[in-house]
Amino acid sequence: MEDAIRAFVTFLEVERGASRETIRGYRSDLRQFLSYAGTLRPAAASALTPQEVDPLTIRGYLAWLDRKKEKKASLARKLAALRSFFRFMTREGLAGQNPAAEVRTPKQPQYLPRVLTKDDANALMEFPEGDDLSARRDRAILETLYSTGARVSELVGMNVEDLNRSDGLVRLRGKGRKERIVPIGTVALEALREYHASLRPSAISHQLSARSDTPVFTNNRGGRLTARSVERIVEKYSRRLSGGSVSPHALRHSFATHLLDEGADLRAIQEMLGHASLATTQKYTHLATDHLLEVYDRAHPRAGRPSGVRPGTGTTRP
């Protein structure tokens, strides 16, 4: 199994072009399963082989995780890792069948992602105050996340050469290193311009400008900013919102929902988010109630909503 896991990780890295985070997650999940399966074997037994794993072993593993109070989403992810691993093993002729394919995915709790109101999103953009380098960088990060709907991994992977300022576009590298071009608003571009103007006089910027992969966002040492650092920045400012702190992904959800509220086409939103399936994007239709109510009020002859009342809020428009 150890050799098989190494072969699978090489496949993910070389042929699939998976990110370091994805590879690290698969490796961790598979080794945890290997550790569990090892507890079921006699001490003197030989090393476990992929052919010896059956559906019963995998179901026992999921039950063990459940007893450890692992979240259902975590169980589903670990099962998906095993399915991918044994699919690879089967294709390479190293296993006769995929035992994980016969195991049902644990039922997931249904929930809607946290979405900021437009007022909260606007307020969040204003929280980084001052003209020092840190404040300018943080403003640029928040504006870029909200303007493009980028994942945090895509944000930190952005290079200066990916920005097309004249056309208002940016290249993002998504899951599986798939690239897409998305619009970026003038407010975000101005925030980036101010941030980079602060960098130019420094020795760091001269050092970075000599490289072809100059990161858009850097840390205090001039290196590429990490995803964890961005998460801390978003949490720091969003803590001041009435609903409490949010993750960078909440800005991605807000980006999609607010576009849908304003009548954007679902297919266009799918392209901007980089979703492979429209079904993934359709969850935002549950969040765009303002837009749906406006359509209802405009189209239904007996909607009967009082004039001047904002749909869904009961409050009068200013």
Active site residues: 151, 175, 249, 252, 275, 284
Q: Is 169 helix (H, G, I), strand (E, B) or coil?
A: strand
Query: ∠ CA 284-289-251 to the nearest 5 degrees?
Result: 45
Cα–Cα dist 154/165, whole Å: 18
Cα–Cα dist 12/75, whole Å: 21
Query: ∠ CA 125-235-227 to the nearest 5 degrees?
Result: 100
Query: ∠ CA 174-118-256 to the nearest 5 degrees?
Result: 30
Query: Given CA atoms 78, 84, 85, 87 in this order, what sign does their dihedral have?
Result: positive
Dihedral, CA of residue 297, residue 303, residue 304 and residue 310, to nearest 10 = -30
